[in-house]
Each structure stands twice: as C-alpha cells, then as structure tokens.
Amino acid sequence: MSPLIPAIASADYQLLPKFTHKFKWSMPMTNAANQINQSSILFPKMPREYPLVGYAPALLGDPISFLDSIGRLGNSHFEFSLFGKPMFVATSKDQFNECLLVKSKDFGFPDLYKNMATVIGNGITATPDGPYWKKKRLLLQPRFGQRSIESFLKHFVTIAKSNALKIKSNQATPMSVHQLAMDSALKSLFSCLFSKTFDQPNVFEDFRDISAIVGKRFWMPNFIMTSKLSPSGRRLSKHISMLDDLAYSVIDERIANKEEAPEDFLSFLLNSKEPGTENALTHEQIRDELINFIFAGYETTACLLSWALILLSRHQDYLSLARAEALRIGELNSFADFEQCKMIKAILSETLRLYPPVWVMIRQAMVDSEICGTKVKKGSNVLLSPYLLQRQESAWTNANEFNPSRFLTDGTHKAGAYYPFGHGPRHCLGNHFAMSEAIAFVFYIVRDFDIDPVAKLPAPQALITLQPPMDTKIHFHALS
C-alpha cells in the first residue's frame, strides 16, 4: 500500500499539506444589488493531479473551487482519479438524467456511501440498492408524501413562532444565522420524529463536528471512516455513542408510555413491519432509521434556512415581496395556507439552486456502461454536483443572479438542470417536509422582522452539506 494513504488516514484532515493555494482564485464581490459573487479565474489551469492520491488534495481542500474550475473548463464532462479510482464528473443535465434516472440500474449505490453506514447505521440512506432497499422505500415513502406530512405542519409553525420570540428577545445584537437555523431545524425534526426537543447546546456542536469529520472521511478508503487513530476519529466514535444513547432513550421511553403515543414518525416505525415479513422492526432497525432521518434532514434543511435568510437580507426587494405575501395570508393554519406561499417557495427554490445543501451525489458504475455516449468503466465513480449544474450559464439565464421570479414565471427550472433533491429512484424522501418547514421558518421571520443586509456574502463551506460559516451574523428588527 502506498505510504501516502496511511499518512492521510491517520492525520486529522487539517494536517494535510495545503496544496490548494496553487489553484485558488479570488471571488470579487460586485455591488450590484442583484449579483451573487462571480468568480474570476486567476489560474485557468486545472489543479494538479498528484500520483496515487490524484485530485484528492483539490477535492478535499477546496471542493467548491475545484468544481468551479471544472465548470469553467466548459467540457462536456471531466474525468480524474481519486485514490487510484476513476471519477467521471457529470456536467450536463442530460448526463444527470441518464445517470440518475434512465440508467439507474447501471449506476448504483456507490461504495463511498457504504462508508456512511459505519456512522449512521443501516437505515434507508445507507442501504445499497436492491430488494431490501426497495421494500424500505415503499414502507417509508408514503409517510413523507405531500399530504402525509400535514400532521407535521403544526410542529413547523410552533417552532417557527418560537424562533420569532427568541429573535425578538435578542434583537439588540446580531445573531449567528446558522446557529438559529440549526436550532430551528433540529427542533422541527425532533418534534416530527419523536415529539421531543432537547435544549442541549452541545448537540449542535456535536453534529457540526460529525459533519466536518465525515465530510472529509467520506472520500477516503472505507477503513478510514472508522479509524480511531486520530483525535477526530476518537471524537467521531464518541459522537456515535451520543446518537445511540439519544435514539435508544426515546425508543425506551415511548415503549414505556405506549398509551399516550403521539402521531409521529417513531410511532409509525413502532407500528411497522420489517419489509417483506410480519415481524415488528427491531429496536436497532428503528434506531438506524431515526439516525438516518436526522442525518438526511437536519443539516440539509438548516443550510436552506440559513442561505435563504442571508440572500433575503441582501435582496430587500424580495424580502418586501415575501413580507407582503405573509401579511396577506396572516397565519399558517392549514395545508392550504402553506400552498398559498408562492413567493416564499420561489425564494426557497432559488436558494436551493444557488446553494444546494447536497452539493454532491455519487454513483458507481455497476457494469461497463456509457453516459451520453462517453464510456464509463465498471467500478468508476460518477460525481454529480447540483452546485456545478445549477450555476451553469448554458442551463440558466444569468446563472449567478439571485432571481426567485424565474421559479414563478419563465419555467427554466422545468428544463431539468435543477436537482437539489436528487433525481430517479433514490431522490429525497423529505423534499416536501423540508420545503414546508422552510416556508414556516421564513414566513414568521419576514412577517415580523426587518433584516439588515449581510454586508459580505459568505463563501460556502462544503462539509457534508454546503454551509455558511457559523460567524455569519444577521441583525433583525421587530416590525411594530
């Protein structure tokens, strides 16, 4: 084995040499009200490919710059190697469609995702394609359909209103927008999953740490994910125990108080049968699904909430339009009220276009195949980045411009270059959940508060999800 790989494996990622300065470029800000940062390439060449580790330093060091540089090459696709394995980068909507939908049997669940199972267990997200996954999907999908999540809406509204109260009592000073969003997203998710919220500040820090560690280890060979040789590995193992304790404690508590079981996801799982059998789910299976849903639905939604507020603060015209809509509707009392929030929904859709929380998806060629005429060898990974696709000028008019109206009028998104929730058989189960939660969050903020513009658009941090920095602050002012 190469001496380089164990060196990376045992090191905290932060200790890796900083190769990235070689190909970083500046991201000048423009003052035009409607402009997102436009990158200008100082080093037009691709970052260097190193022996054995390939483009790993580029991808792990600064993934967004790496993707931007690929986008700017304008090639129909791009190939590189990562730890000796070929990686095909899809760059067009047709390639996304072919890989994720049309040839979903050729391009399946990748070994890289199996890494995740060691952290989050064997819930649906980490279950490889096949009959067992399909049965799970059939079991869980109906609970997350557009109308089925109606029972969750009241939780979203309660949390959104408590956010507004919290903001009101803190309005003298600017608040960390991502802290607010993470707090809100975790409370919403916990309320819907098992009707409980936890006021432990450590939980957020633990999750952020998990995301940072897993985000880097995700790309590395399997054995690194669970390695406890480094401090981050030991921290990860502690975090996993924390998650186990949390999940098992809510399961035990619910079983002890069966009579008063609320209508939540935990009750649904406790009353479900193991796919294809008459057996109730084991506690371990229930733990796995709960943890999976926390992983799939927490940070992703928190990122959407944060970026939406950051963008709204910088686009006061859309803030006013969203407020006018919220004032006209008044309160979110029913599914129909949520349905009326067309402007807020458009703002959220545009936020997901520019800052897709899941900035990368991976598939693996199960057989020798082709993507839009280019041969892809069995075993190769395919990298599909909604971030890369959704900012392409060839697919979107003024791609870097924040323009929610495009989701109301011109229908560009229908052209298919828009996959924030994935595509094909494994597309997101929680898309309606996330959008409804985000509508409630934005609704009660824009209705009740003015937001000072965030002076500088923060650069996104590509961990497992595409996050704003924790120190991005927003100053709210209650409207009288």
Residues that bind ligand HEM (CB under 6 A): 124-125, 137, 293, 296-297, 300-301, 304, 357-358, 361, 420-422, 426-430, 433-434
Residue closer to ligand HEM, measured from CB, 179 or 230: 179
Residue closer to ligand HEM, measured from CB, 71 or 297: 297
Which is nearest to 255 in space by CA: 274, 275, 277, 283?
Answer: 283
Minimal distance, residue 336 CB to ligand HEM, in Å: 22
Which structure tokens are listed for 239?
């975090």
Minimal distance, residue 156 CB to ligand HEM, in Å: 11
Spatial neighbors of 80 by CB under 8 A, at least 6 apart, are 49, 54, 55, 86, 87, 89
Residue closer to ligand HEM, measured from CB, 230 or 369: 369
Residue closer to ligand HEM, measured from CB, 53 or 428: 428
Residue closer to ligand HEM, measured from CB, 53 or 438: 438
Q: Which residue's C-beta sits nearest to ligand HEM?
A: 430
Minimal distance, residue 130 CB to ligand HEM, in Å: 12
Which is nearest to 310 in space by CA: 351, 364, 256?
Answer: 351
DSSP string, 45-56: SPPPPBTTTBTH
CA pair distance 232, 230, nearest whole angstrom: 5
Which is nearest to 143 in space by CA: 324, 6, 266?
Answer: 266
Residue closer to ligand HEM, measured from CB, 47 or 357: 357
Minimal distance, residue 371 CB to ligand HEM, in Å: 16
Residue 474's H or E segment, with its range, is: strand 473-474
Query: Mapped to the 3 state alphabet, what secondary structure does 225-242 carry?
Result: HCCCCCHHHHHHHHHHHH
Task: Say which DSSP state 399 is in.
Answer: T
Residue closer to ligand HEM, measured from CB, 9 or 210: 210
CA 96, 98, 101, 106: dihedral to nearest 10 degrees? Answer: -120
Residue closer to ligand HEM, measured from CB, 8 or 59: 59
Are 46 and 23 a contacting pair, CB within 8 Å?
yes
Minimal distance, residue 416 CB to ligand HEM, in Å: 15
Which is nearest to 210 in space by CA: 120, 105, 126?
Answer: 120
Show the DSSP H helices in 195-230 as ranges.
Answer: 201-217, 222-225
Minimal distance, residue 259 CB to ligand HEM, in Å: 27
Minimal distance, residue 81 CB to ligand HEM, in Å: 21
Query: Angle at CA 215, nearest 5°, toward 214 and 216?
Result: 90
Minimal distance, residue 370 CB to ligand HEM, in Å: 20
How far, in whole angstroms, is CA 432 from its chain's centroid?
A: 14
Residue closer to ligand HEM, measured from CB, 5 or 413: 413
Minimal distance, residue 149 CB to ligand HEM, in Å: 9
Q: Which residue has the tokens 């999800």?
A: 465
Residue closer to ligand HEM, measured from CB, 300 or 381: 300
Minimal distance, residue 348 CB to ligand HEM, in Å: 8
The SS3 call for residue 437 is: helix
Residue closer to ligand HEM, measured from CB, 12 or 129: 129
CA pair distance 362, 415, nearest whole angstrom: 22
CA pair distance 424, 102, nearest whole angstrom: 8
Q: What are phi and psi of 86, to 5 degrees?
A: -65, 140
Residue closer to ligand HEM, measured from CB, 5 or 290: 290
Minimal distance, residue 8 CB to ligand HEM, in Å: 24
Minimal distance, residue 136 CB to ligand HEM, in Å: 8
Q: Which residue has the tokens 């990235």?
A: 20
The SS3 call for residue 338 is: helix
CA pair distance 424, 268, nearest whole angstrom: 25
Q: What are phi and psi of 81, to 5 degrees?
A: -120, 145
Which is nearest to 98 in space by CA: 428, 284, 376?
Answer: 376
Query: Mapped to the 3 state alphabet, what secondary structure does 299-330 carry?
Result: HHHHHHHHHHHHHHHHCHHHHHHHHHHHHHHC
